[in-house]
Amino acid sequence: MANLTFTGWIIVALYAVTTATCALAASTVKANTREKQLWLAIATVFLLLGAGRLFDLQTVIAASGRMFAFEHGWYWERRPLQQGVIVVLAIMGMLAAIALIVWARGGSWLVRIALAGTAIAVGFALIRAVSLHQVDMIGSSRLLGLPINWILELGAIALVLLPAFGTVRGPLALK
């Protein structure tokens, strides 16, 4: 298990609350609908993201990549590869987000907002796993007194948690 800070524990708890709220949202929509499938998929993704945060899998992935680079003699020339991976991940994330939003056309605007938040959360986790030093420096810089990493991660969680809560609360889900 990761050596989490107080903020880290809050973020893990928010992933758990978001997972449960998305699963509850799935149970409140009509059976066998695309929207139900989307809420269940989002719940699954947030369960995995929360487990990744709890067990610090991003550090494990980065350390494994670093060891692999050392063993194969290209660690000192890794920057172009890391930059390429970040570009590929960003493009794949945008394409996946577009595909999901198109696939969710029949769903409520709340599930579409949640999908956008999910895409941001997954993209954020993947880019942090690549752990390019410049990306880490940007993430640790501050905006309004808060680290940008927190703003991005908590913002993505909010973009999923609030629509899921809206779905659970009732007929706010407009088509």
* Domain ranges across the chain: 6-169
* Full pLDDT tens readout for the chain, 175 residues: 667 888 889 999 999 999 999 999 999 998 878 889 999 999 999 999 999 999 988 778 778 888 888 899 888 887 788 788 878 888 887 888 788 778 788 788 899 899 989 988 998 888 777 765 556 666 667 878 888 888 889 999 999 999 999 999 976 444 4
pTM value is 0.82
Q: Does the CA dihedral 118-139-53-66 come out positive or negative? A: positive
